[in-house]
Amino acid sequence: MRVFVIAFMALFLSKPVWAQVSSYADIVEEVMPSVVNISTEKEVNETQDSEIDNLMLAPDLKGRESLGSGFFISKNGHILTNYHVIKGAKKISVITNDGKTFEAKTAGVDTRSDLAVLKIDKGKTPFKAVVFGNADEARIGDIILAFGNPYGLGISVSSGIISAKSRNIGASGLAYLQTDAAINQGNSGGPMFNLDGEVIGVNSAVFASYGANGVGFSLPSNIAAWVATQLMDNGKVKRGWLGMSVANGIDQYTETPGFVITEINEESNAYKEGLRVGDIITKYNDLPADDLDAFYRFTEMLEPGQALRLKTLSFGEEIRNVIRIQEMPANVLNIVSHKALIENSKNAYTDEDDGVSYLPELNLAVKEATPRGLMIVKLEKKSLLYGKGIKEGDIILEANRNDIYTVNNLKDSLQEALLDEERSVSLLIQGTQNTFYTTFEPVAFDDKD
């Protein structure tokens, strides 16, 4: 019996660390002074903020007060919050945890990340700034604490876990942390802390459709801290730009996976260094080309003028490039998204559709896509492309490394292949999930068949 009791006690005392957490009071007490309430008076009659955050901000009437949250990122009175919290405000008021009210000025905004930095006079006492953690190191299942000003009740805290990472919620193509912690109207701009008392996210949106609960999103701290630093220092954000769009692909000559270049700006340094559509990036700064989001985030956060080392494959030949990063032009705000392709793939084909052409050589129907390529709107089972992973809604971008804009372009490539002894045609296909090459052997078409 004694042995059993000792064994039971040992089992009880050795339970996992997460099961031993009985209170978050110490953490809350430590970080609470960094969190603030934000209220604004709007000049506009109504807002479109619900497109980003369809629960945290209701449409505002002129002069009506809008509520949100924020947190100190410097002891001198810099505050980070969501841009949509203060958008259109004619007056911004900040209430600290000890009940003091300050009028705030906007130090800088970044619409792409939906972040803004405010500044208030510090007075005699320095403010308590947060410490940013590394959101990349956070794991699904980690316990987090979300702070904010729900429904204007005052600074509050809720607990939950990280439900998912790298969620694309349609807001500028950025990847968000998902949590089941209670996030409500007024929590916008509030911090998400880990159990080390570090900020790993900025509460930015909730999923409110169909009465869903427990689905909130926070912008990761790695992006938020980078944006906040630039807004404090410069009042705006300078982003790196390669001047190209890429997608997951495989080199047709070596079967090496990587990022295939699907679009490239002829004014970019990358183009001037010899990179072209169809080339495959296999490494960047010695990092493997296996995560598109990580690649875009990495290049975007490089300073203009910095060098980026690329290892690429062009027609199967390995080339090493050094590209000087340029500043992203003002009109380039979003990375390439496949959303439009997914929607286009739902379109049904009929013989009466305008702009649709039928290619008997390939037993498929296509129509011109924007800005280039031919969208496949009907693919028959007897087609030479059937069974090659191609689906209706996919876009033919190239044929034998020639850009495709019209049906005649594709027919010319088919005819050239038929005149060639090897008779192979290589197509670059942009699908809803990735971009890839496929090769087939064309056959002569007899319109008498």
Q: Catalytic residue positions? A: 84, 114, 188
Which whole-number Å values give the CA distances from 435 to 87, 154, 167, 389, 432, in the listed order? 38, 49, 21, 11, 8
The tokens describing 49, both together, are: 């903020």
**Nearest Cα to Cα of residue 442 among 421, 419, 416, 424:** 424
Contact 422, 376 (CB under 8 A): no
Can the peptide bond before residue 371 be classed as cis, meaning omega within 30 degrees of 0? yes
Which whole-number Å values give the CA distances from 205 to 105, 112, 179, 211, 311, in the listed order? 24, 14, 11, 15, 38
Collect all residues with Cβ–Cβ distance below 8 Å to 394 and sequence separation of at least 6.
341, 345, 375, 376, 429, 430, 431, 432
- 67 forms bridges with which residues in the sheet? 39
**C-beta neighbour count of 327 within 10 angstroms:** 13
**C-beta neighbour count of 252 within 10 angstroms:** 20
**Nearest Cα to Cα of residue 116 among 188, 45, 199:** 188
**Nearest Cα to Cα of residue 226 among 110, 118, 53, 94:** 110
Q: How far apart are CA 4 and CA 146, in angstroms?
A: 42
